[in-house]
């Protein structure tokens, strides 16, 4: 009883906050919902507020901006007990010590784009947001960036130097999440994934220790962070390899429904492309379907290094009659500046599987998806998209030959990651959309398994929260990852207290 009173008094230290008048175990209402005040959250928020100014509480004017508006997916809007915006690695180290002392649940937010609910926000715990880590230092062949930056920020910093980094394809995607889960970029076929281009990580471990990890310093952790997600610590600086790419060739092409079979055949063609001296080129290839108007269309956003107008690597797409075709020569920054992914537009569910390139199978999947969308046409705000991402052999070959590797362990074989991205408006349809998306993708993947086309690989950035990416990694890699986690996070801070996202069970 004395402990309960002590923690209730501790909660009172949060001046002008909804928590300040709450008792441990009571319900706290916020503009976004409500949560039950736990002993751990009351303790951690109190200690943080005494140590640092600017702790954001549920009654703060900027609470909603931090707990909701900073996120892409509406489903990520949760109600933290308090929000901490550290500006130094030392402050993060101290916060982690507080979380352990208080046994407090916490979440970490970088760019806020991952749509796995709870991966970067939390109900009733502490949200640690990294937006103040916005420094950029450009070196001759690398760039040092903070985890509070978006990839557009990085491209903007590099433009004056005529260089580019391997990062996100959309303007609002953050540096840390994409880098830690793998990272699709336009130039994967030549330079590998974003994770393959990280030269070093500055990391705060669960016990508050700060380490710099690279090929020679903590090389085991260096490897594990290449695709291992938020299982090992909080990265406070990424040092990234850069390339001399002052100009890029771009293409925007839109096709009507009659062109979609040829469009998907062209996707398979570019996935299979594996040249000895490759030209860096990649794309975002999507099919949209309006279930009310019963109209489908496909779009290509293609980027190629160098000056080629039109970009030569997309010749198969350019041969298809298009309703729109715009070719240009520009910079990575200028291209990315127009590719925003607006925040707070939808509730969004991802589901994805991986397959060998096969145009007949891919077209069949598209047709089955389109028919299935008609079954949920009554869902309010329905916005269904069928997305294909290519994983060419050259992308995997980078990790196989750079002396480091990554946790994916992919062989140098071409794959297509096919994904259902489904947007909708109302929370009451959450379970319906998840059940629909899950059943459909599993059923179609079973057909691919029977045809010998399926791969077990699951990319965290395209996966639904119900999927298990680690099951698709080589078993020996997962065992090694678990051993490294046990070594660097023996108190299991990043699974016991920080539980959101795709977690590696130990």
State the pLDDT at residue 45: 97
Lowest mean pLDDT of 71-85, 330-344, 481-495, name the range.
Answer: 330-344
Residues 151-188 pLDDT 10s: 999 999 999 999 999 999 988 899 999 999 999 999 99
Q: Are residues 379 and 452 in the same domain?
A: yes
Residues 437-454 pLDDT 10s: 999 999 999 999 999 999
Beta strands, E only, 412-459? 415-424, 454-455
Domain membership of residue 501 (yes or no) is no
Domain membership of residue 503 (yes or no) is no
By CB atoms closer than 10 A (0-12, 13-18, 19+), residue 16 is exposed
- The pLDDT of 91-113, averaged and rounded, is 97
State the pLDDT at residue 87: 97
Domain membership of residue 378 (yes or no) is yes
Q: Are strands 383-391 and 281-290 parallel, antiparallel or unpaired?
A: antiparallel
CB 126 within 8 A of CB 45: yes
Position 10 confidence tier, pLDDT thresholds 50, 70, 90: very low
**Residue 91 token pair:** 């402050």
- CA–CA distance, 216 with 214 (Å, rounded to integer): 6
On the question of pLDDT at 8 being above 50, the answer is no
Nearest to 423 by CA among 483, 383, 464, 468: 383
Q: Are residues 394 and 486 in the same domain?
A: no
Structural domains in the chain (count) = 3
Q: Which residues pair with residue 144 across a beta bridge?
A: 137, 239
Domain membership of residue 441 (yes or no) is yes
State the pLDDT at residue 19: 56
Domain membership of residue 412 (yes or no) is yes
> What CATH number did the domain enclosing 263 receive?
3.40.462.20
- The pLDDT of 13-35, averaged and rounded, is 72
> What CATH number did the domain enclosing 224 receive?
3.30.465.10
Q: Are residues 252 and 241 in the same domain?
A: no
Q: Are residues 81 and 213 in the same domain?
A: no
Non-local CB neighbours of 477 within 8 Å, separated by 6+ positions: 407, 408, 409
Nearest to 420 by CA among 457, 375, 383, 447: 383
What 3-state DSSP class applies to 215?
Answer: coil
- The pLDDT of 114-130, averaged and rounded, is 95
- Residue 19's alpha-carbon distances to 9, 27, 54, 55, 123, in angstroms, are 11, 9, 15, 12, 13
By CB atoms closer than 10 A (0-12, 13-18, 19+), residue 68 is buried
**Element spanning 134, H or E:** none
- CA–CA distance, 148 with 126 (Å, rounded to integer): 18
Q: Are residues 217 and 277 in the same domain?
A: no
- The pLDDT of 334-355, averaged and rounded, is 93
Domain containing residue 18: 2-129
On the question of pLDDT at 319 being above 70, the answer is yes
Q: Are residues 64 and 208 in the same domain?
A: no
Conformation bin of residue 28: beta by default, left when phi > 0, alpha when psi is -120 to 50: beta
Q: Are residues 93 and 64 in the same domain?
A: yes
- CA–CA distance, 212 with 400 (Å, rounded to integer): 23
């Amino acid at each position: 009883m004395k402990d309960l009173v002590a923690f209730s008094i501790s909660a009172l230290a949060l001046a002008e906050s909804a928590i300040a008048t709450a008792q441990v175990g009571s319900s706290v209402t916020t503009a976004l919902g409500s949560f039950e005040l736990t002993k751990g959250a009351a303790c951690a928020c109190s200690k943080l507020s005494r140590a640092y100014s600017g702790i954001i509480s549920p009654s703060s004017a900027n609470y909603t901006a931090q707990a909701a508006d900073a996120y892409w997916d509406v489903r990520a809007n949760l109600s933290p007990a308090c929000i901490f915006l550290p500006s130094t690695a030392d402050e993060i180290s101290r916060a982690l010590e507080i979380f352990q002392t208080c046994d407090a649940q916490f979440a970490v937010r970088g760019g806020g784009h991952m749509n796995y609910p709870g991966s970067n926000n939390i109900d009733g715990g502490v949200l640690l947001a990294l937006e103040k880590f916005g420094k950029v230092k450009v070196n001759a062949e690398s760039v040092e960036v903070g985890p509070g930056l978006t990839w557009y920020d990085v491209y903007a910093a590099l433009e004056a130097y005529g260089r580019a980094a391997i990062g996100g394809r959309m303007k609002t995607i953050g540096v840390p999440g994409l880098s830690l889960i793998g990272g699709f970029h336009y130039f994967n076929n030549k330079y590998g994934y974003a994770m393959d281009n990280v030269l070093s990580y500055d990391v705060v471990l669960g016990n508050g220790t700060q380490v710099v990890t690279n090929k020679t310093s903590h090389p085991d952790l260096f490897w594990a962070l290449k695709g291992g997600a938020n299982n090992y610590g909080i990265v406070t600086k990424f040092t990234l390899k850069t390339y001399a790419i002052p100009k890029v060739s771009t293409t925007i092409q839109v096709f009507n429904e009659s062109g979609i079979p040829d469009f998907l055949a062209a996707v398979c063609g570019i996935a299979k492309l594996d040249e000895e001296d490759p030209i860096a080129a990649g794309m975002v290839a999507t099919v949209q379907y309006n279930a009310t108007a019963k109209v489908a269309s496909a779009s290509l956003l293609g980027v190629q290094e160098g000056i080629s107008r039109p970009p030569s690597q997309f010749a198969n797409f350019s041969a298809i009659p298009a309703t729109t075709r715009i070719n240009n020569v520009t910079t990575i920054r200028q291209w990315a500046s127009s590719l925003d992914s607006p925040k707070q537009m939808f509730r969004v569910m991802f589901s994805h599987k991986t397959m060998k390139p096969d145009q007949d199978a891919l077209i069949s999947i598209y047709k089955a998806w389109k028919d299935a969308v008609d079954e949920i046409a009554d869902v309010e705000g329905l916005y269904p998209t069928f997305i294909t991402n290519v994983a060419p052999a050259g992308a995997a070959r980078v990790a196989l030959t750079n002396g480091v590797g990554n946790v994916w362990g992919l062989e140098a074989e071409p794959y297509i990651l096919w994904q259902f991205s489904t947007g909708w408006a109302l929370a009451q349809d959450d379970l319906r959309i998840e059940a629909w998306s899950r059943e459909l993708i599993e059923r179609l993947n079973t057909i691919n398994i029977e045809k010998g086309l399926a791969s077990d690989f699951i990319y965290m950035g395209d996966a639904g929260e119900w999927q298990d990416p680690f099951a698709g990694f080589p078993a020996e890699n997962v065992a090694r990852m678990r051993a490294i986690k046990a070594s660097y996070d023996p108190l299991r801070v990043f699974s016991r207290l920080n539980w959101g996202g795709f977690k590696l069970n130990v």
